Amino acid sequence: MKEKDIENLIALYPHEFFPKEHFKLKGQQVKLGRCYADILFTDKYDRQIIIEVKRGILSRDAAGQLMEYYGLLKQSNPDAIIELILCANTIPHERKLFLENIGIECQELGLSMIQKIAAKYKYTFLDQLEQEDKQVPPIVTATTSKAASNSDDSLTNVWIFQADPKRYDILNALSDPEVQHFGWQVNQHKKDIKKGDVALIWMSGKDAGIYSVADIASNPAIIGETPAEAKYWVDDKDRGIESLGVLLENRVVLINEPIYRDELKQIAILKRLSILNMARGTNFPVAADEWQAIKALINTRSKTAN
C-alpha cells in the first residue's frame, strides 16, 4: 500500500471516510502555485476542502505544507472559505491537539479501515499491480530462515519484535527500499535470541499485528543504525543510540495484508501467544506450535503481500 493508494481511496469514496460531509471531488494533485495539493473537495456549503494525506505517522512538517496550500488557494480565490484536513495512519495525541487548536482537522485512518474500503470496492493497491506479472512463491517455506536453511525447522527459534508506531514510523520504514535491514533492540531473552532465528515484526496500537517476517542476521551485540532507518524515529532523542541489538533482514512485508491481533485471538492455539497476554516489552518468544499456526496464516497472504 502506497501513500497514493490512500489518496485515491479518499478521492474516490469520500463518503466512506467523511460520511456526513457530502464532499464533491474537484481534483487530485491540484496545482496551487508551485505546489500540488493531494485532494481538493467542495462541500454542501460550497467551502473548499484541502486534504493532505500521509502514510504512517503524521510528520511535524505536514501542517506547514498544508498552510502553504491554504495561502496559495486563498491568494487565487480570496473570497473562498477554506477548510484544512490532515489524514495519516497514526497521529500522536499531542500533535492532534495542537493542529486542531489552530484550525486543522486531523483524521487518523487505520490500515484495517483502509483495507476494508479497498476490499469493498475491489480496489487493487498499486504495489500489487506492479507485482502481478511476477511469480510469488510461498512466503514461508518448510525452512524457517535463510540462515537456518541447512537445519531442521524445529531447531530455529521464532520471536516477535515489537514497534511502537508513535515512536517509530514502522510503516514507511518497512516500505523504504533504502532500508535493507533494521538494527533492533534486544531487551528481553538476550541469551536465547541468535543469528538464524526468525523475527515477526509487530506493530502495536489499534491496528496491532504482524507486519513483516524477517531473518535475524546477527547475534546480539552493541549496534547502531543506518541513516536510512534512523530517519523514521519520531523524536530526535531516539536517533543515534547504540544499544544491544540484532540485525533484521526483511524477507517479506505484509503491509497490504497484515495479520491483525484480533485474527490471532480467534485461533485457539494462539490465545496463549506471549504478546497477546503481556504486551509490554520489545522481544517475545513464539512456541513451535504457535509458529506453525502463524506460518499457515502468513502463507495464505503470499499472493497479495508486497
Residues 119 and 247 both lie in one domain: no
60-111 pLDDT, tens digit each: 888 888 999 999 999 989 999 999 999 999 998 888 999 999 899 999 999 9
- What is the average per-residue pLDDT within 240-262? 91
The parent domain of residue 214 ranges over 135-299
- Please enumerate in sequence order all residues whose Cβ is within 8 A of that of 50, keeping only pairs 6 or more positions apart, or say none: 37, 39, 40, 66, 69, 70, 73, 82, 83, 84, 85
Residues 29 and 150 both lie in one domain: no
Domain total in the chain = 2
Which of 157, 140, 251, 161 lies closest to 203 in space, CA to CA?
A: 161
Residues 172 and 284 both lie in one domain: yes
Q: Is residue 71 part of a domain?
A: yes
Q: Is residue 304 part of a domain?
A: no
Cell of 167: 515512536
Taking the CA atoms of residue 281, residue 285, residue 291 and residue 294 in that order, the dihedral angle to the nearest 10 degrees is: -10
Which CATH number does the domain housing residue 275 bear? 3.10.590.10
Which CATH number does the domain housing residue 59 bear? 3.40.1350.10
Residues 58 and 90 both lie in one domain: yes
Cell of 68: 502553504
26-60 pLDDT, tens digit each: 999 999 988 999 999 999 999 999 999 999 998 88
Handedness of CA 144, 148, 149, 151 (dihedral sign): negative
109-158 pLDDT, tens digit each: 999 999 999 999 999 998 877 665 554 444 554 344 443 333 344 457 99
Q: Please say which residue of 75, 108, 127 terminates a domain.
A: 127
Q: Is residue 276 part of a domain?
A: yes
- Please enumerate in sequence order all residues whose Cβ is within 8 A of that of 13, keeping only pairs 6 or more positions apart, or say none: 117, 121
pTM tops 0.75, yes or no: yes
Which of 162, 157, 158, 159 lies closest to 281 in space, CA to CA?
A: 162
pLDDT for position 131: 64
pLDDT for position 185: 94
